């Protein structure tokens, strides 16, 4: 292992902007911190999503297609209350846009704002966009008949496009990639982001 590699790994990295959408109505870092300080449990039931009684069974080993719990940890903010014109999306694009892409557009804007980085200052820079993601059931729910795919369906629901959409909208010209490694996706994405900074591929 060369000395340059060791030196590169010792370069400090600063987190300068934060934004989030988390269960427990934590729609910003301050609300998330309050959730932690107060020791509140973000677990809840959501009957608007599915019939909890129909799918609940105390012992799922005795029955298929059931859940051993009546609730979960949900983001309650309505993803359809989304300002399409602000993000320069057409109605056709917005109609097939996966909720996580909508949320990512919003929190990326908020994180840059939180960091004190106006969009004109970021545009055109070697800013990396590395996203950790997991499977999406939205694409399955959106189209059940392959003969009736909306025209922009693949761009709206493909996980591979998530980071590219952000890079395109914010004009980020550093590495742009989406990581899907199951439960470790977020950790691997952070690692890749750090490597992009340390190698000089990205400046932000």
CATH of domain 78-204: 3.40.47.10
Could you give the CA distance from residue 72 to residue 53 in angstroms, rounded to a whole number? 14
Q: Is 63 exposed, middle or buried (0-12, 13-18, 19+ CB in 10 A)?
A: exposed
Q: Domain map of the chain by residue range? A: 18-77, 78-204
Q: pLDDT class for 1, splitting at 50, 70, 90?
A: very low
Q: What is the pTM (predicted TM-score) of this model?
A: 0.87
Whether 2 shows a pLDDT value over 70: the answer reads: no
The arithmetic mean of pLDDT across residues 38-57, rounded, is 86
Could you give the CA distance from residue 37 to residue 2 in angstroms, rounded to a whole number? 44
Q: Is 180 exposed, middle or buried (0-12, 13-18, 19+ CB in 10 A)?
A: middle
| Residue-wise pLDDT tens digits, 155-183 | 777 788 899 999 999 999 999 999 999 99
Q: What is the pLDDT at residue 144?
A: 67
The arithmetic mean of pLDDT across residues 34-55, rounded, is 88
Could you give the CA distance from residue 17 to residue 10 in angstroms, rounded to a whole number? 21
């Amino acid at each position: 292992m060369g000395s340059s590699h060791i030196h590169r790994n010792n370069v400090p990295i600063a987190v300068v902007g934060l934004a989030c959408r988390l269960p427990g109505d934590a729609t910003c870092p301050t609300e998330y911190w309050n959730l932690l300080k107060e020791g509140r449990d973000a677990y809840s039931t959501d009957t608007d999503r599915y019939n909890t009684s129909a799918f609940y069974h105390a012992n799922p080993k005795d029955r298929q297609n059931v859940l051993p719990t009546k609730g979960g940890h949900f983001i309650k903010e309505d993803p359809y209350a989304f300002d399409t014109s602000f993000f320069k999306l057409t109605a056709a694009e917005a109609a097939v846009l996966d909720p996580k892409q909508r949320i990512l557009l919003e929190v990326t804007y908020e994180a840059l704002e939180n960091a004190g980085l106006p969009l004109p200052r970021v545009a055109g820079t070697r800013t990396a966009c590395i996203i950790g993601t997991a499977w999406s059931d939205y694409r399955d729910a959106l189209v059940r008949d392959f003969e009736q795919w909306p025209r922009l369906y693949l761009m709206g629901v493909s996980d591979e496009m998530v980071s590219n959409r952000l890079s395109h909208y914010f004009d980020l010209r550093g590495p742009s990639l989406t990581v899907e490694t199951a439960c470790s996706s977020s950790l691997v994405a952070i690692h890749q982001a750090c490597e992009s900074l340390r190698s000089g591929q990205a400046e932000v």
